[in-house]
Chains A and B, each alone.
Chain A
């Protein structure tokens, strides 16, 4: 039994209804007029069906003849019969319930028989709404996972491509990459070398060229940082920046909806959003280290990719940060032993989607 107040508020939300004068059918007044199965109409329907030997025996045509109601079409009857067949048991109960409502409300005849329909619709609508909400939550969950999967896949592609490129550079580059060779040849990186290059350095250079001149801030950064003698952190930053930022700034892009936040706020690495860091690059782990140790918003980057994810105001900030970071970075570089690599890799992977086992899958 619904309090009258609610009924009236429902009424205002209901579509307009009008009672057909000749047949007494209640139709809605929205563009596509739909029939309202009032209690009375439904009772007649049930009677007709019973006369014809039950819902399985009755057909819309025969029902129509038996009921003899003007304005009732086969279409109406077909769908109603189907519903009746499907939900025969609950329908009966519902029928009883709405009859009670109707009889109580019959006193207020001026509301027309739509008030009974209101009751019925309320129930249906509530169920519908709940169902939809539940479905929506499911969809949200799945969407997250799917986006992650896609991100991981892209990451693997990019990693492979950079690997191949690094391999090529190794073969091709002769000039200016004396250090490059050194760095690549000695896998446990020789940190004392002033140019412990990320083997990708050449490719980043090319990328910077590729993007062409243009963004003033970026050029400024490049000139400022690119040929610094202590450029280890530069290249680190190139890698880190990408890794850090591509994850970091992706998060606002993807997870700005509260409900979609899957990971904690302090998860620097984010999830499987693609980073452009090399898989086999030993520096990768260093970057992980640095990310976890440095505070959240200190992106130490100057590379073009991260520039893309940054917003303008932060670019100025970076310049300051870079100075500070370089000192700590170098320390980190020097004190990183091999075992730590595995260690640092672990938590990252665990934070990733559980579907990929620890260690890079491919």
Chain B
């Protein structure tokens, strides 16, 4: 498999693996390798069945890595060398004799360790860009974004994400698997819409977020004549379709005004432009007889929200809706979200609905590797949950992964890498610090969420947390998404 790998073969120092040595060049690097000790204590980790100990696995890994650096010294056959070694150094371990599931498990385990090693190599005490690339090369041979088990596909995206980090921002041209429209916008948009539809069917993430927020909003504006919703990231506007339906069925329902926050640029590759969404929502509202008006509010060039940019009317109940980490959304800069939430306090919003993903461990001691592994764990849970929704339809899942999850993973890892130790905790915690008060999740809301999850796989779980103002969607004990309701403290 031909890959434009920027590894200079001559720069690879001498390596000693069991009985195998590669051609060497410089001497300084040689020392480095010889003194290199595995930063991860393999022995402390549990082994998979079929392996006598980690020792086998490690040796296998080393052999794999070594296999990449084949004895050819001619740089012109660099690419061929890689592909040759791929076929010739296919390590035959005891795996070949055991059944498929075991093999998958072992392979999955191997991938996890390779990824972990890559993360370590990227930021650990003995970080080395070359080592990372070596590991990534090997990983790339083992995985594919469209084939194989969940772990394999996930590892493919993680590998690519790491590669993007290592190569720096200018490597966008190497985005192999990460969604690239390639064709025209319309085709891409259809892809995204189809993927979104599939996503909604496969998993309850989106519905859980939307419905929980909507129910909280409905309850808080129960007696208002005018409601003004400010939506941080309206995407395709699905959330408001069901809210409008709920309000339209009321005898004298309120007039709804939605202001969608829009950003300059990046509209081309989004699932829908804000204007389109506005048109659709207006048409939908008309079809169900809901008094409705739609507005846009542009963010500044640095994506800061200015409350003054908002047009308010007298006597309206202001609702701030902040959906952050749904699978089909992009990452938003922290400062931007902060400015939005602060705006809610400033404008004395009636209620703020927030949906975010599980933040994972934070703190100084966690480090990049810890967060990396946490993300791996998180997304493997997401992948598993998708599979549970559509066990047979690998292609559908591959589409969703390519269009949505892959870019999310890349963005997530890039963010973690950039932010380093200043990674903040969840937005919920931030709101508490800013003086927001939680609004209890009602029995009806909780009930609705439970019923919704009942329509999907059993593996989904629901928890009520944080002083009763938060509902958390989890997959088999791994928390995925949390929906919480707040109000600025001034409103009492």
Query: What is A's interface to B at a CB cutoff of 8 Å?
Result: 132, 135-136, 138-140, 142-143, 145-150, 152-154, 156-158, 160-162, 164-165, 168, 203, 206-207, 210-215, 218, 250, 253-257, 260, 274, 276, 304-305, 307-312, 355-357, 361-362
- Please tell me the number of chain B residues within 8 Å of chain A, measured between CB atoms: 54
Query: Is there contact, CB below 8 Å, between B395 and A304?
Result: yes
User: Are B288's CB and A308's CB within 8 A?
Assistant: no
Q: Which of B3-11, B127-135, B185-193, B354-362 contacts A (4 or more CB under 8 A)?
A: B185-193
| Chain A proximity of B102: nearest CB distance (Å) | 22
Q: Is B284 an interface residue (CB 8 A)?
A: yes
Establish whether residues B211 and A153, one from each chain, have CB atoms under 8 Å apart when the complex forms: no
Report Cα–Cα, A356/B284, bound state, in Å. 9
Q: Which applies to chain B's interface (DSSP): helix, strand, loop or mixed?
A: helix
Main DSSP-derived SS at the A contact region? helix
- Specify which of B189, B197, B284 lies most central, judged by the most chain A CB atoms within 10 Å of its CB: B197
CB-defined contacts of A257 to chain B, threshold 8 Å: 451, 454-455
Q: Name B287's closest neighbour in chain A (CB-CB).
A: A361
CB-CB under 8 A from B200, the residues of chain A are 150, 154
CB atoms of A356 and B395 under 8 A apart: no
Closest to A218 in B: B395
Question: A122 CB to closest chain B CB, in angstroms?
Answer: 21
Give chain B interface residues in 181-221, CB to chain A under 8 Å.
183-184, 186-187, 189-191, 193-194, 196-198, 200-201, 207, 210-211, 214
Contact with A along B63-87 (1 / 0, CB 8 A): 0000000000000000000000000
Residue of B nearest to A256 (CB): B455
A211–B236 contact, CB under 8 A? no
Contact A308 B393 (CB under 8 A): yes
Q: B194 touching A305 by the CB < 8 A rule?
A: yes
Given A154-B196, A356-B287, 16 further pairs, Cβ under 8 A:
A136-B447, A142-B448, A154-B238, A156-B283, A156-B284, A161-B186, A161-B190, A207-B190, A210-B399, A211-B395, A212-B395, A214-B146, A257-B455, A304-B396, A308-B396, A362-B284
Q: Smallest CB–CB gap between B206 and chain A, Å?
A: 9
On chain A, the residues within 8 Å of B248 by CB distance are 355
Residues of A within 8 Å of B210, CB to CB, are: 150
Which one of B198, B241, B394, B398 has the highest number of Cβ atoms from chain A below 10 Å of its Cβ?
A: B241
Residues of A within 8 A of B214 (CB): 146
The chain A residue sitting closest to B244, CB to CB, is: A149
> With the chains together, A253 CA to B203 CA distance in Å?
10
Q: Smallest CB–CB gap between B449 and chain A, Å? A: 10
B343: Cβ under 8 A from any A Cβ: no
Closest-by-CB residue of A relative to B236 is A157
Alpha-carbon distance A252/B71, docked complex (angstroms): 58
15 contacts between A and B (CB under 8 A): A138-B444, A139-B447, A146-B242, A147-B207, A149-B245, A150-B200, A153-B280, A154-B238, A211-B395, A214-B146, A255-B455, A260-B455, A304-B395, A304-B396, A361-B283
B392 near A145 with CB under 8 A, answer no
CA distance A158 to B195 in the complex (A): 11
Q: Say whether A206 contacts B242, CB under 8 Å.
A: no
Most B CB contacts (10 A, CB to CB) among A139, A254, A310 go to: A139
Q: Does B55 contact A (CB under 8 A)?
A: no
Most buried by B among A161, A164, A168, A276: A161
A274 touches B197 (CB 8 A): yes
Q: Which residues of B contact A215 (CB under 8 A)?
A: 393-395
Say how far B156's CB is from chain A's closest CB, in angstroms: 13
Is B36 on the interface with A (CB-CB < 8 A)? no
* 3 tightest Cβ-Cβ pairs between the two chains A and B: A361-B287, A153-B241, A308-B393
Assess A214 versus B398: contact at CB under 8 Å? Given A139-B444, A149-B245. yes
Q: List which B281-311 residues lie within 8 A (CB) of chain A.
A: 283-284, 286-288
